[in-house]
Amino acid sequence: MVKDPVDAQLSKLVHELWSRIIESINHVVEADSSFGFEKFVALANPSIGQIIAAIQLVEPIVSVVLNSSQIQDDPTRTMQLLNCQQAIHLIRRTHVSLKNGDEAEYQDCIRKLRSQKQ
C-alpha cells in the first residue's frame, strides 16, 4: 500500500513540531537541573526569554495544524499536537513563575515538564 504524500508530509510536520517542543522542554529541564530556581534566570543558556521566543515561532503552526481537517480524524497526531500545546503552556507558566518569584508554581511546572521530556 502506497502512503498518501500529504499524509506523509503531515506526519513529518507533526514530528518536527514535537521535536522542537521537546528541545525547548529539555532546555528548561536542563537549566533547572544545573541552576535550580534561584539561579535559572541569571545563568540559563539559552535564557528563558530565548526559549519563549523559540516556542512563539512554533505555537501558531501547532494551532493551525491541530485545527486542520487532516488531523481531526487522527487521534495519535491530535494527541501529539495537544501535548505540544500543553508543553508550551507549561514553559510559559515556568517563565511567569520565575518572573514572579513563585517557586511552588515553578516546581509544579518543572515536574510536569519532566514527565513530557524525551
Where are the chain's structural domains?
5-116
pLDDT above 70 as % of the chain: 96
CB atoms within 10 A of CB 36: 14
What tens digit of pLDDT does each residue of 32-75 get?
A: 999 999 999 999 999 999 999 999 999 999 999 999 888 888 89
Coil, helix or strand at residue 3: coil
| The one-letter amino acid at 107 | Q
Nearest alpha carbon to residue 110 among 83, 84, 91, 88: 91
Residue 26 C-alpha cell reads as 529539555
pLDDT score of 2: 45
pLDDT score of 1: 46
